[in-house]
Amino acid sequence: MKKLIILIVSVFLLVPMTNAQEKTAFNTARNLKLENESKEQQISIDVSDEYDTFALSIDSNIHEGKLSIEIFDPSGEKQGNFSIGCQVGGANNPTTKEVVQGQFRKTFQKPKKGKWVVKIIPQNAHAQINITVTQIQN
């Protein structure tokens, strides 16, 4: 009986440990601040064989200019895009300062392996961009 109890307790203790080992998440975050920026930038994200899930989260807000963000998979196919822009506001018209916000959330199961690219195309942009990448290994 005692052995049986020890066995059951051991099983209960081991099961959560094995479950915890099943999934491994790898997070990276990058923040960008643009001040009257018009130069295009690219951020590459390596997606390797060991990860089964790739989640991309982009948060951006702008208070002057225009900002476009495009997401490409390793084959060059566009997987998403959005643009945000402000026509008024900024230093010239501070009383009517406006903010425009854009967010992108997408989870790719069994993503294409290789270099994913986030292309940032600003036009006289005063903006902030946060890019968070989560890769999960099952």
Q: Which stretches of the chain bind other proteins, using CB under 8 A?
A: 57, 61, 77-78, 80-88, 98-106, 108-110, 112
Q: How far is the CB of 42 from other proteins (least distance, A)?
A: 19
Sorted by sequence, the CB contacts under 8 Å of residue 88 that are 6+ apart come out as 96, 98
Q: How far is the CB of 80 from other proteins (least distance, A)?
A: 7
As beta bridge partners, residue 17 has none
Q: How far is the CB of 87 from other proteins (least distance, A)?
A: 5
Task: Pick the closer one to other proteins by CB: 38 or 103.
Answer: 103
As beta bridge partners, residue 56 has 106, 133
Task: Pick the closer one to other proteins by CB: 10 or 48.
Answer: 48
From CA 90, how far away is CA 68, in angstroms rounded? 18
Sorted by sequence, the CB contacts under 8 Å of residue 28 that are 6+ apart come out as 45, 132, 133
From CA 56, how far away is CA 134, in angstroms rounded? 7
Task: Pick the closer one to other proteins by CB: 6 or 46.
Answer: 46
Task: Pick the closer one to other proteins by CB: 41 or 87.
Answer: 87
Q: How far is the CB of 8 from other proteins (least distance, A)?
A: 32
